[in-house]
Amino acid sequence: MARLSLAACAVAFHLCLLVSSSASLRWLSDKPAAVTTAGGVRTRSAYHFQPAKNWQNDPNGPMYHNGVYHLFYQYNPLGATWGTGNLSWGHSVSRDLVNWVTLDTALDPTAPFDSNGCWSGSATILPGGIPALLYTGRIGTGKGMQVQNVAFPKNPADPLLREWVKPAYNPVIPLPADVPGDNFRDPTTAWVGRDGMWRIAVAAKVGGPNGIASTLIYRSKDFRHWKRNTLPLYTSRAAGMVECPDLFPVAEPGVEEGLLGYVSGTVSGTVRHVLKLSVMNTTQDYYMVGRYDDAADTFVPELDNERILDDFRTWRRFDYGHVYASKSFFDMRKNRRVLWAWASESDNMDDDIAKGWSGVQTVPRKVWLDGDGKQLRQWPIEEIETLRSKRVVGLLGAQVNAGGVNKIVGVGAQADVEAIFEISSLEEAETFEPNWLLDPQKLCEEKGASVPGGVGPFGLLVMASGDMQEHTAVFFRVFRQNDKYKVLMCTDLSKSSTRDGVYKPPYGAFVDMDIEAHGGIISLRTLVDHSVVESFGGGGRTCITARVYPDHVVNGNSHLYVFNNGTGAVKVSSLDAWEMATATVNVLPDGLIAASSVSRAQAY
Ligand code: DQQ
């Protein structure tokens, strides 16, 4: 551990960094030259899921079947852009959710009922163990028309379920008369109610172009003939159009096991459910915990005093960063619910075309209901830890004083970092203003890592260049609100890259925990993977995923620091960091991934 000399750091935080690093005055003055190439393999993730090449978006139909995990995904086999009409279902299999093998695409837009794209959907394992895929077929040109289709394995005995057939009786659900053609999609995994009928939810805008964002329920006896319920499961005038709904049961508060969502009898009564909606006009995923009743197919959110039913901005989010279109599945192997979500690129399309790929998935996360019964907790599945290689233990028990920046030597751009911070005193917490409640992201912008505070900002600087010109700050800041405290978590990208044309917002959210009752202790886990910074604050109560494109990785090493820019001291009770091994993710014989691994090894 190298402690940097920061005696002069009573001034702005960026100046502290200037003093503490070998940077010259260029830190504040020079504008770096624009980089026109995308950095190619240097930004490619080493252990996040991505196809070998081309475009990927939503995770589709994740499932565990006969000892094999399957992940399907929206995939453009023809290039690194979305390619509306080309969308296929990419298909990869794994035994551990970490290392993946690519198979041929499972669904391609080849039938009259999906001729312009096989869009998102889900997998359901039918009685007898046969999986079924429900997906949206896009027909026609222009905005097209959306219908729901089903597909089954060609050979259910094939352990990898390589080929899928689409029955000629598709579509199983045509476009309803009261829904515009381009606003009807993304069927969920099916579940069975007490009446023995299958149910699915489908997203739709009901009532014309200015209609209401709705989550429709369809019921079926045979998985082929589906009838729409008169009343939707949920509607929102505020949302515009929602996509990729997900409805799943959760166990008792604080119990980490998951519940199977499609066996009769488990989906009603006292069990709580989570309804997740992907809101199209913000491209953000929101969820509510509530009660689902399978007699009437209604979902009643349990609102606390900070959440408003029809204002999705007050709903909680799986991730307050750059992810969308998440999907969960029940993992029968380990009795847990696992969530995937798409983290798109946030550089620009020319970069994607130049590097030949676009889009990663978050690491698979275990999801359960927190002990408070109100919010979800998320944590990287334990299998991710098999990639932990060299371990670095730093700063154990060290106090990080105002303006302190401590380097953790030995980990860089491919790391897993777990830190526990202990706030010495909450006395110095700044006063919280109620109008900050609705916009934590703005608060993170106003009170970024370089703005000194009382209790915080403190946390990690990851993907930092040797001269500190580039770094991504993941941090907490604690405010006093009446006689309670409010914890803000931010991922500040403003200094993440010196490149132009890269989206570098501040991301932020509150961590819903009573920091005082927790003895002033708060944890932060951050997974760093070249262009991905995926963080879990307060034991997974608040998650923020960011995409970063630092320029320094082309010629230099990345570093990790702990910092505190608040006047109150913060103790690092523990800090463990691991260099992460490169997972085998969709390696193709053409050597594309192998080549990138070699250059990574050379660079770091
Ligand atoms: N992506 C799919 C749609 C879905 C959207 C198309 C969400 O089915 O609504 O690629 O990202």
Of the two residues 593 and 275, the one the predictor is more confident about is 275
Let me know if 58 is a catalytic residue: yes
Residues forming beta bridges with residue 301, ordered by sequence position: 290
What is the DSSP code string of 477-505?
EEEEETTEEEEEEEEE-TTS-S-SS----
Residue 218 Cα to ligand 1 middle (Å) = 20
SS3 86: helix
> What is the Å distance from ligand 1's center to 165 Cα?
22
Pocket test for ligand 1, best of 58, 82, 324 (most atoms within 8 A of CB): 58
3 state SS for 332-400: CCCCEEEEEEEECCCCCHHHHHHHCEECEECCCEEEEECCCCCCEEEEECHHHHHHEEEEEECCCCEEE
Tell me what the pLDDT averaged over the chain comes to: 87
Q: Which of 575, 92, 19 is nearest to 361 (CA)?
A: 92
CA 543 to ligand 1 center in whole angstroms: 22
Per the CB < 8 A criterion, the answer to whether 232 and 239 are in contact is no
Q: 319 in ligand 1 pocket by Cβ < 6 Å?
A: no
Cβ(490)–Cβ(474) below 8 Å: yes
Enumerate domains of the chain plus CATH numbers: 49-362 (2.115.10.20), 389-580 (2.60.120.560)
Ligand 1 atom closest to 324 (CA):
11
How confident is the model over 118-161, as pLDDT tens digits?
999 999 999 999 999 999 999 998 888 999 999 999 999 999 99
For ligand 1, is residue 185 a contact (CB within 6 Å)? yes
> Per-residue pLDDT tens for 84-126?
778 999 999 999 999 999 999 999 999 999 999 999 999 999 9
**393-444 pLDDT, tens digit each:** 776 667 777 777 888 888 899 999 999 999 999 999 999 999 998 899 999 9
Atom of ligand 1 nearest to the CA of 82: 10
224 — phi, psi (to 5°)? -120, -45
Higher pLDDT: 302 or 198? It is 198
- Mutation probe of ligand 1 site: the residue of 89, 143, 147, 185 with most atoms within 8 A of C-beta: 185
Which residue's CA is the nearest one to ligand 1's atom 7? 325
Token code pair at residue 465: 């260049």
**DSSP label of 15:** H
Query: Before 457, cis peptide (omega within 30)?
Result: yes
Question: What number is the average pLDDT over the span 554-564?
Answer: 89
Residue among 58, 108, 351, 370 flagged as catalytic: 58
pLDDT tens column, 436-477: 988 999 999 999 999 999 999 999 999 999 999 999 999 999
Query: How many angstroms separate the CA atoms of 200 and 218, rounded?
Result: 5
Structure tokens at 29: 């003055």
- Cα dihedral angle (516, 521, 525, 526), rounded to 10 degrees? 80
Pocket test of ligand 1: the residue of 243, 326, 344, 345 to mutate, having most ligand atoms within 8 Å of its CB, is 243
- Reply yes or no: is the peptide bond before residue 32 cis, omega within 30 of 0: no
Q: Is the CB of 468 under 6 A from ligand 1?
A: no
Q: What is the mean pLDDT of the segment spanning 564-592?
A: 86
- The model's pTM: 0.90
Rg (alpha carbons) of the chain, rounded to whole number: 24
How many DSSP H helices and E strands does the chain contain?
4, 40
| Phi-psi label, residue 15: left if phi above 0, alpha if psi -120 to 50, beta otherwise | alpha
Task: Please tell me if the CB atom of residue 76 comes closer than 6 angstroms to any atom of ligand 1.
Answer: no
| Cα 340 to ligand 1 centre (Å) | 14
DSSP string, 267-301: SSTT-EEEEEEEETTTTEEEEEEEEEETTTTEEEE
User: Rounded to the nearest whole angstrom, what is the distance from the C-alpha of residue 40 to the centroid of ligand 1?
Assistant: 26
Closest C-alpha to ligand 1, atom 9: 243
Q: What count of Cα atoms within 13 Å lies in the side-chain half-sphere of residue 338?
A: 30
Looking at residue 266, what is its pLDDT?
Answer: 53
Q: What is the pLDDT of residues 52-67, one digit of tens each?
A: 999 999 999 999 999 9
Bridge-based pairing state of the strands 542-547 and 298-301: unpaired
Query: What is the distance between the alpha carbons of residues 565 and 574, in angstroms, rounded to a whole number?
Result: 19
Least-confidence region, from 26-30, 188-192, 407-411 = 26-30
For ligand 1, the distance from its centroid to the CA atom of residue 58, given in whole angstroms, is: 6
Q: What is the best residue among 143, 186, 279, 286 to mutate for testing ligand 1's pocket, by most ligand atoms within 8 Å of CB?
A: 186
Cβ-count burial 325-345 (b if 16+ within 10 Å, e if not): bbbbbbbeeeebbbbbbbbbb
Which of helix, strand or coil describes residue 237?
Answer: coil
When pLDDT is averaged across residues 9-27 and rounded to a whole number, the result is 25
3 has pLDDT over 60 = no
**Cα 223-229-233 angle, rounded to 5 deg:** 105
Dihedral Cα 461, 464, 467, 468, nearest 10 deg: -40
Contact indicator for 539, 365 with CB cutoff of 8 Å: no
| Distant-in-sequence, close-in-space partners of 182: CB < 8 Å, separation ≥ 6 | 143, 144, 145, 146
- Give the per-residue pLDDT at 2: 28
| Residue 244 in contact with ligand 1 by CB distance below 6 A | yes
Q: Which residues contact 97 (CB under 8 A, 6 or more apart)?
A: 69, 338, 364, 381, 383
Ligand 1, atom 6, lies closest to the CA of 119
Average pLDDT of the residues in 483-509 = 95
Residue among 36, 73, 21, 35 at smallest CA distance from 52: 73
| Cα separation, 326 vs 367, whole angstroms | 12
